[in-house]
Amino acid sequence: MVGEIYFIEMPYSNLREFKGRPILIFKVIDKHDILVLPLTTNLKREGVVITKDDLKKGSLKKESVVIVPKLTAIDVSLITEENFIARLKTKSFENIQKEICVKFEC
């Protein structure tokens, strides 16, 4: 599950509106909650660019940016196999982890 990309209805920060978008599962908190990072195809956004070369399985329609550090906790029930898009290579996921640490001053 960690390192996988899914398409979900992602809430905006106001929690009243939603937008369908790909998300990267960053960490499993417990059996109900996971931390995710949203993706965007706006390559001008701050974050980590991922390309088809970063993927171990699946595909993305376009190069995307993992918006770091916009971590959001969601209910694991929003993740279904039908919404699976791709899985990152280990090295690519580790690069995102490093960027999170830079942003949060770990």
The CATH number for 39's domain is: 2.30.30.110
Selected residue with higher pLDDT from 3 and 10 = 3
Residues 47-70 have a mean pLDDT of: 96
Residues 73-97 have a mean pLDDT of: 97
| Domains of the chain: total | 1
* 3-state DSSP helix/strand/coil % of the chain, to nearest 5: 25, 45, 35
Enclosing domain of residue 26: 4-104
Asked whether residue 11 carries a pLDDT value surpassing 80, the answer given is: no
Closest CA to 23 of 82, 70, 57, 77: 70
Q: How confident is the model at residue 69 (pLDDT cuts 50, 70, 90)?
A: confident
Q: How confident is the model at residue 83 (pLDDT cuts 50, 70, 90)?
A: very high
| Entry pTM | 0.93
CA 81 to chain centre: 15
